Amino acid sequence: MSGTLTLALTKGRILKETLPLLARAGIVPADDIASSRKLVFECTRPGVRLLVLRGTDVPTYVRHGAADPGVVGKDILLEEGADGLYEPLDLGIARCRLMTAAPVGWIPGPGRVRVATKFTGIARRFFAEQGRQADFIKLYGAMELAPLMGLADVIVDIVDTGNTLKANGLEPLDLIADISTRLVVNKASMRSQHAAIEALLAELREAVA
């Protein structure tokens, strides 16, 4: 579809908060994304289509040119790397914090700390910078369970309100990064579709403001 701008979106909370921004920029999907099983959506604006993907796949689609811009959380960019991508705009949505957390009152011992997280790359860099020796256990959900069941001492996870931590007897400790949603752009697309992408960026900047 030559000349079509393909925008990759992240499923879930980010999608819900992105769609009103796109609407303010005049980009509205022709079908109701919430009720449709489709993954590719034409828009009311000609020449724009949307892909709905898992967040971890958005940088891959953009990097390889299957999508031109993409909308993805900063946590994914920190974990997966942003090689081959421009990151021209912070959309300021889906804000949260990436933190370490442990059982209330936990005191680190002299030995290695066991860390459960799905962000093993970020966690490895963080603990290395702290000069703390750690072993990392990759999990994909329910991080709070790992310390309760003796699987890990500490978790590294996204914290929004902190209520889930509190309900499971954990408390946040170290702030690793403030997270929000970013627009990323394929470097080749930035050249080949420069006018269309710059127009989209200008409209989204106005919508964010």
CATH number, domain at 192? Answer: 3.40.190.10
Q: Burial of 86 by CB count in 10 Å (0-12 exposed, 13-18 middle, 19+ buried)? A: middle
Q: Do 106 and 173 belong together in one domain?
A: yes
Q: Which residue has the tokens 């011992």?
A: 109
> Taking each helix axis from N to C terminus, what angle separates 13-24 and 194-208, rounded to the nearest 10 degrees?
100
Burial class (CB in 10 A: 0-12, 13-18, 19+), 69: buried
- Tell me what the pLDDT averaged over the chain comes to: 94
Model pLDDT for residues 180-204, shown as the tens digit of each residue: 999 999 988 888 888 989 999 999 9
State how many domains the chain has. 2
Q: Are residues 32 and 78 in the same domain?
A: yes
In this structure, which amino acid lies at residue 172? P
Do 89 and 148 fall within a single domain? Answer: no
Residues 153 and 184 in one domain: no
Q: What is the pLDDT of residues 134-149, one digit of tens each?
A: 999 999 989 999 999 9
User: Residue 125 carries which side chain, given as an amino acid letter?
Assistant: R
Say whether both 30 and 87 belong to one domain. yes
What does the block give as tokens for 166? 């509190």
Residues 168 and 121 in one domain: yes
Counts of helices then strands in the chain (DSSP H, E): 8, 11
Q: Looking at residue 43, what DSSP letter applies?
A: B
Residues 111 and 87 in one domain: no
Domain identity same for 78 and 158: no
Domain match, 10 and 69 both: yes
Tell whether 136 and 74 lie within a shared domain: no
Do both 201 and 137 map to the same domain? no
* Domain membership of residue 201 as a residue range: 5-94+180-208
Q: What is the pTM of this model?
A: 0.90
**65-98 confidence digits (pLDDT tens):** 999 999 999 999 999 988 889 999 999 999 999 9
